[in-house]
Amino acid sequence: MPAATATKAPFDEVIALVGAGDTERAEALCSEAVQRDGRDVNMLALHGAVLLKMRRMTDAEQALRRAIALAPSFAKPREDLGQLLLRTGRTQEAATELRHAVRLEPALDQAWFNLGKALAALGHGREADAAFERSFELVPERKALAYASKAHHEGKLDEAERAYRDVLRRNPGNVDALRLLAGIALQARRQDEAERLLRKALALAPDFVAAHVDLAQLLKEQDRIEEAIESLRAALGIEPDNARTHFLLGGTLAPAALTHEAIESYRRALALNPNHAGAWLGLGHTLKTVGNVDEAIHAYHESARLRPNNGEIYWSLANLKTYRFSDAEVAAMEEKIAAGKLSMLSEVNMLFALGKACEDRADYERAWDRYARGNARRREDEWYDPVQTQVLHDSIVDTFDRALLDSHAGGGDPDPAPIFIVGLPRSGSTLLEQILASHSQVEGTAELPYIGRVVNSLHLNRADGVNYPAAVRELGDSNLRDLGREYLRLSLLHRCRGAPRFIDKMPNNFPHIGFIHLILPNARIVDARRHPLDACVSCFRQLFARGQPFTYDLVDIGEYYLQYRKLMDHWHNVLPGKVLTVQYEELVGDFENQVRRLLDYCGLPFEDNCLRFHETERPVRTPSSEQVRRPVNTEAIGRWRHYEKHLDALKEVLQPLL
């Protein structure tokens, strides 16, 4: 028993504060109480428990050991110390403390459970099973949850879901079951249900870090970046020294164009865990974005040292475009692929990296072989239906006719801030963005997902099955204005400089030009266009992280290019003068005149900085980030000719344009 008793009022207040998630205030009250009476064992033990919850491991251990020294027969601080030792990898010490705790108080179910984990880690399987069984006897619900979790890990999702729901029927407040059931709902693409379950868990346990993190990842997947950042920062408010959460925050800040904050998050993760390969990789990506190439290469090499079979690292180096692999690196990648032990995704990444390495050596036959093999492997794991694309594009053409567009003239939000750059990927859009972002009145943001998100909002709650684009015919001017405002609201997160104009460089927005015109009639739209063969072959040579499933087969790319041109012809017909087409070959061949033409179309006065775009320091989050940090050149023109003997099928598809 404890040697001294804490005053009940402050003790209860601390418990209430912890329950409400206010660990900072709880810790302050404990600290004040311990300073008043250093022999108050109950408050000392509680102080240690609160510090443990805050992951202040050194301070927590000191407080718990002081409590144990004052009251050696007090089981609770031994249980908490055992948990702390288990978390910090001191497994043998943890087992000793936890054994002591359950001898003193055999009803400590969590201590038995943690003892089982410690013994299992030490290889004492039979003793571990006995400890787990004792925990399950004390709390049968934990046994049911363990059974459900086992089924979940084995991929028996229906069985696991039934088991989690059984737990929740008996105890609707079991936050672990709520979180794990949310994981199954997310795997089944039931995102609304997953969010509801996680928010319920957090309402019951505001300091449930894992639920905050899971919710953040769900929100990020839905492009609700601001909310995702808020959830991760809430998790860090509870556990400020959690390396994984800092890593995840870095990966959420980066696509929000909060690049320097992302770098700080990755660096914080690495300070806490220098062997976090994912944080090194993420740091490399963000350093590349801001132009710190040497540091980026160092970060990639550190990641490769820790995970030598992670192909993404090698493609990231290749994707710098300026990095040259050594002969030893090329041989190592070839050996890894030949061994056949890589994951599919790592093999694909290494094949694309080898394609780039061979291309740099002017070994175009080997380069094509590696690109073709990489694309074929990736195509096995991608779903793309060219017929579905054609049907959607045909319905867009049918819906957005001149009559519809004329009927809403003057509708939408009149803000002229957005400049959209659209087109096929790898067609010069990053160069156009860099030119415009070098202007004092324009901010470059990123490839924003928000036009797609606003479009998808028209699909919600439609029992009649009428979706985009047909649903647009039902919208009035006020609806269109609201949709335009929603897009502008979402884009604010990415507008860090406060410039009056900003660029949205999402190439896949080209099918939505009519919709953009309706909701943002004063927006400017620039079509980045390139020779069909150069554009298509460049897509085939590029491994995209996501969002371009048509790029892994030459025929698919060619047919997609035809669809793109068909839609652009339609927009020029129904919205004459709305879109400015900038041909890449003309841009680099007659640079100043084309830049003046571009600025004039956007309503911007000419500035010399736009001609010196390569001197502009700003984050660039595309494969062309290093290329646009050099003066304009013609190196990329006609690159398809290196591979001409392999392009017969593509040429046949593109024949109407060639």
DSSP notation for 340-373: T-S-HHHHHHHHHHHHHHHHHTT-HHHHHHHHHH
Among candidate residues 351, 380, 409, the one where a domain is terminated: 380
Q: H helices within 222-326, ranges in order?
A: 225-238, 243-253, 259-272, 277-289, 293-306, 311-318
Over residues 480-491, the pLDDT tens digits come to 999 999 999 999
Q: What is the pLDDT of residue 3?
A: 41
- 628/291 Cα distance (integer angstroms): 10
Do the domain assignments include residue 282? Answer: yes
Among candidate residues 343, 364, 380, the one where a domain is terminated: 380
Q: What is the pLDDT of residue 622?
A: 53
Indicate whether 346 and 414 sit together in one domain. Answer: no
**What is the chain's percent helix, strand, coil content, to nearest 5?**
70, 5, 30
Do the domain assignments include residue 299? Answer: yes
Indicate whether 376 and 507 sit together in one domain. Answer: no
Q: Which helix (H) or strand (E) holds 446?
A: strand 442-446
Over residues 376-407, the pLDDT tens digits come to 999 998 889 999 999 999 999 999 999 999 99
Indicate whether 512 and 527 sit together in one domain. Answer: yes
Indicate whether 436 and 474 sit together in one domain. Answer: yes
Mean pLDDT of the chain: 91
Give the SS3 label for residue 215: helix
Q: For tokens 């820790």, what's the residue?
A: 306
Indicate whether 551 and 441 sit together in one domain. Answer: yes
pLDDT band at residue 506, thresholds of 50, 70 and 90?
very high
Indicate whether 348 and 400 sit together in one domain. Answer: no
Over residues 88-143, the pLDDT tens digits come to 889 999 999 999 999 999 989 889 989 999 999 999 999 998 998 888 888 777 77
Among candidate residues 380, 402, 429, the one where a domain is terminated: 380
Indicate whether 524 and 566 sit together in one domain. Answer: yes
Q: What is the pLDDT of residue 278?
A: 96
Q: H helices within 532-615, ranges in order?
A: 532-540, 554-574, 584-589, 591-601
234 has pLDDT over 80: yes
pLDDT band at residue 443, thresholds of 50, 70 and 90?
very high
Q: What is the pLDDT of residue 316?
A: 95
Over residues 412-440, the pLDDT tens digits come to 999 999 999 999 999 999 899 999 999 99
Q: Shortest CA distance to 372 belongs to which of 84, 52, 647, 596?
A: 647
Indicate whether 420 and 444 sit together in one domain. Answer: yes
pLDDT band at residue 465, thresholds of 50, 70 and 90?
low
Over residues 147-204, the pLDDT tens digits come to 788 888 888 889 888 988 988 988 898 898 999 999 999 988 899 999 999 999 999 9
Q: What is the pLDDT of residue 150?
A: 81
2 has pLDDT over 50: no
46 has pLDDT over 50: yes
How many domains does the chain divide into? 2
Do the domain assignments include residue 578? Answer: yes
Do the domain assignments include residue 75? Answer: no
Q: Which residues form the domain of 524?
A: 386-459+468-607
pLDDT band at residue 658, thresholds of 50, 70 and 90?
confident
Tokens, residue 142: 């934990």
Rounded mean pLDDT, 213-242: 92
Indicate whether 485 and 453 sit together in one domain. Answer: yes
Do the domain assignments include residue 22? Answer: no
Indicate whether 419 and 549 sit together in one domain. Answer: yes
Do the domain assignments include residue 446? Answer: yes
Range with the lowest mean pLDDT among 27-36, 133-142, 316-325, 550-559?
Answer: 133-142
Indicate whether 397 and 326 sit together in one domain. Answer: no
CATH of the domain at 357: 1.25.40.10
Rounded mean pLDDT, 563-578: 97
Over residues 258-310, the pLDDT tens digits come to 889 999 999 999 999 999 999 999 999 999 988 889 999 999 999 999 999 99
Indicate whether 438 and 328 sit together in one domain. Answer: no
Do the domain assignments include residue 408? Answer: yes
Instruction: Please tell me whether the overall predicted TM-score, pTM, comes out greater than 0.85 for this model.
Output: no
Over residues 518-566, the pLDDT tens digits come to 999 999 999 999 999 999 999 999 999 877 999 999 999 999 999 999 9
Q: What is the pLDDT of residue 7?
A: 56
DSSP class of residue 108?
-
620 has pLDDT over 60: no
Q: Which helix (H) or strand (E) holds 563?
A: helix 554-574
Q: What is the pLDDT of residue 8?
A: 65
Do the domain assignments include residue 128? Answer: no
4 has pLDDT over 90: no
CATH of the domain at 447: 3.40.50.300
The larger pLDDT score, comparing residue 616 to residue 127, is at: 127
**C-beta of residue 215 within 8 angstroms of C-beta of residue 199:** yes
Residue type, 438: S
